[in-house]
Amino acid sequence: MAESSGFRNLWLATSVSQVGTQVSELAIPFIAITMLRATPFEIGVLNAVQFLPILLLSLVVGVWVDRLRRRPVLIASDLARAAILFSIPAAGVLHLLSLPQLYLVAFLVGALTVLFDVAYQSYLPALVDEDHLITANSRLQVSEQGASVIGPALAGSLINWLTGPIAVAVDAVSYLASAGLLLRIRWPEPEPSKPEAATGIIREIGDGLAFVLREPMLRAIAMTAGLIQLFGRMVFAVLLLYLVRQVGLSAAAVGVIFSVGSVGFVVGALIAGRLGNLLGVGRTIVVAAALASLSPLLYAIGPRAYAGGFVAVGFFLYGVAAVVWTVNNLSLRQAITPTALLGRTNASMRLLGWGVIPIGSVLGGLLGGAIGLRQTIVLAALGSLVASLPVLLSPLPGLRQLPRPASVA
């Protein structure tokens, strides 16, 4: 594949930061649960505020990314996330940790992650030939999802040995390492597009949304992603509480369960390109959506005595599906979207697909307190069964190869 040292550095940067991110994703809720005695609703809110920036900022971020060079945006996002996360171990040393601080950290890191993700997805086509987008996205996903195997087990061990705040510091260091790798990229980046003087930010946002909504494949992908995230976040709002408080698992045990389950992410990254070639890009996206929407049933039907094993298997299947889905639908999006619209299209897809995450998290927390943790998992798993219908009923099942970019009026 025609790749550059720039792509290799981007690949390494995202890999390093993802290991740290996986540590924080387990450590911060454990701080809330074990050190601050958070309720189900408070855990739901903590999960929600992390993803609230997707709902509030995605479209504006898309405009910024299309107006700016992407590499400086990526570096600034990493440095800012590191500084914000270091506030947690600092507060821990001073015995000042509180839920409001965790909410604020989760929101700010979430906002910067939106900026980083939209920028990196829009930066990749500048580093890799169009014909090799699926290969490049697969390689990124292999490393990213490999981190999801290492991260939870590492997080559980760090929490047990060194406490949650120190585990969060590991994530902060990983962002500093990521920024250092991105600084090494010297590959020339295309000049960002300049908006016409009469074009305002609202018009630019509208152009990105309109492109997604009038493109039937992107529209269907966004709808299915939104449904999977809505019901999936209802499950994850209470799943950790269920495993810790009702099943009685330790932080290390939970970390091992999610690490074992996360092997599915690595498997998905390894087979995503081959499956796309075998079934066709569109049909692969549909199959991945169906598997992802079915996997929460394993969380729901597992007896309490074997809950850990059922969660590991369900998470494994979800991991395979999620990465196959991500590689193929992201490559499709990058292939058919004109460069001048790529940031806004990525941001619009993130909003439509992930904007429901705060809603699902809060709803899961409310239901967990009202009807019970296990009952909430069952209800959300049943709702998830309809999530794959939009892509199944779209033109995607007939799409074999990645099409070329559409023209923009």
Angstrom distances, CA of residue 50 to CA of 233, 280, 353: 12, 35, 15
Tokens 């209470």 found at: 238
The segments of the chain whose pLDDT lies below 70 read: 1-4, 130-131, 144-153, 190-200, 404-409
- Residue 147 vs residues 11, 25, 266, 329: alpha-carbon distances, Å: 12, 12, 9, 21
Helices 251-261 and 307-336 pack at an angle, to 10 degrees, of 50
Q: How far is CA 252 from CA 8, 156, 244, 248, 386, in A?
A: 33, 4, 11, 12, 34
Structural domain contains residue 216: yes
Neighbour-count burial of 157, counting CB atoms closer than 10 A to its CB (0-12 exposed, 13-18 middle, 19+ buried): middle
Return the amino acid letter for 275: L
Residue 340, both tokens: 């001048």
- pTM exceeds 0.85 for this model: no
Is the distance from CB of 136 to CB of 124 less than 8 angstroms? yes
In whole angstroms, give the CA distance from residue 262 to residue 18: 13
Cα distances from 327 to residues 140, 148, 174, 380, in angstroms, run 9, 16, 24, 26
- What are the pLDDT digits (tens) for 276-301? 888 888 999 999 999 999 988 988 88
Question: In angstroms, rounded to a whole number, what is the distance separating the alpha carbons of residues 47 and 357?
Answer: 8
Helix, strand, or coil here: 90? helix
Please, are residues 320 and 141 in contact by the beta-carbon 8 Å criterion? no
User: Number of folded domains in the chain?
Assistant: 1
Counting Cα atoms < 13 Å in the Cβ hemisphere of 168 gives 28
Which residues fall within 8 angstroms of residue 306, CB to CB, at 6 or more apart? Answer: none
Q: What is the rounded CA–CA span in Å between residue 330 and residue 23?
A: 25
Alpha-carbon distances of 108 from 54, 82, 153, 365, 397, rounded to whole Å: 11, 11, 25, 21, 39
Residue 187 lies in a domain: no
Classify residue 225: in a domain, yes or no. Answer: yes
Asked, for residue 114, whether it belongs to a domain, the answer is yes
Residue 33, domain extent: 5-182+201-398
Q: How far is it, in rounded angstroms, from Cα 83 to Cα 105? A: 10
pLDDT recorded at residue 154: 72
Give the pLDDT confidence score for residue 1 in this predicted structure: 43
CATH number at residue 274: 1.20.1250.20
pLDDT of residue 221: 94
Tokens 């809720």 identify what position?
29
Torsion of CA 40, 372, 292, 303, to 10 degrees: 120
Q: Do residues 319 and 22 touch, judged by C-beta distance below 8 A?
A: no
| Residue 392: per-residue pLDDT | 93
The full DSSP string for 324-359 is: HHHHHHHHHHHHHS-GGGHHHHHHHHHHHHHTTHHH
Residue 282 lies inside a defined structural domain of this protein: yes
DSSP state of 262: T
Is 189 inside any structural domain? no
> If you write DSSP's letter for every residue of 190-251 in order, what string do you get?
PPPPPPPTT--HHHHHHHHHHHHHHSHHHHHHHHHHHHHHHHHHHHHHHHHHIIIIIS---H
CA separation for the pair 259, 73 (Å, rounded):
31
Query: 270 in a domain, yes or no?
Result: yes
Residue 196 lies in a domain: no
Return the pLDDT at 408: 40
User: What local confidence, expressed as pLDDT, does residue 2 receive?
Assistant: 41
Contacts of 61 by beta carbon, 8 Å cutoff, 6+ apart:
114, 115, 118, 343, 347
At residue 261, the 3 state secondary structure works out as helix
**CA–CA distance from 15 to each of 8, 179, 249 (Å)?**
11, 12, 29
Instruction: Please give the structure tokens belonging to residue 407.
Output: 């023209």
